[in-house]
Amino acid sequence: MADHPIFKMAFSKIYPMYVQKAEKKGRTKAEVDEVLRWVTGYSQEQLDSQLEREVDCRGFIEEAKLNPDRELIKGVVCGVRVENVEEPLMRELRYMDKVVDELAKGKKMENILRS
C-alpha cells in the first residue's frame, strides 16, 4: 500500500469534502479545522498554508507534529476499523476521516478531542 494513489493526492482536494460532510450535518468549517488541528498539531496558519501549497497527503502527514492522543481514536469509518490499519500513513489519514465522521454524526467536541 506504500504507493496508494491517495498518498499523492493534494490534501486540498480532500479538505473540501470534509467541510461539506460536516456542513451537511450542521457543523462548521471552523469545527473541521479544529479537529484536524488536534490530530495534526498544525496551527490554523500552518493548516491554511498546507492547503494553499497543495501539499500531497504524504507531505501533509509527514510535516505534521501528530498528537499522540490521536491513537485513542477507535472505530469504523468507510467500513475500515481505523486502529487496525497496518500501513502507518493510511492509518493517519483514517484518523482524520474518523474525527470528521464523528463531527458530522453530532458527537460533542470534547469527546472527539478525547478530552
Position 57 pLDDT exceeds 90: yes
Q: Hey, what domains does the chain have and what are their CATH numbers?
A: 5-112 (1.10.8.290)
Q: How many CB atoms lie within 10 A of CB 58?
A: 18
Backbone angles phi, psi at 77, to 5 degrees: -140, 135
pLDDT more than 70, % of the chain: 98
Confidence of residue 115 (pLDDT cuts 50, 70, 90): confident
pLDDT tens digits, one per residue of 61-86: 999 999 999 999 999 998 989 999 99
Q: What residue type is 77 in one-letter code?
A: V
Q: Residues with Cβ < 8 Å from 35, sequence gap 6 or more?
A: 96, 99, 100, 102, 103, 109, 112, 113
pLDDT tens digits, one per residue of 41-50: 999 999 999 9
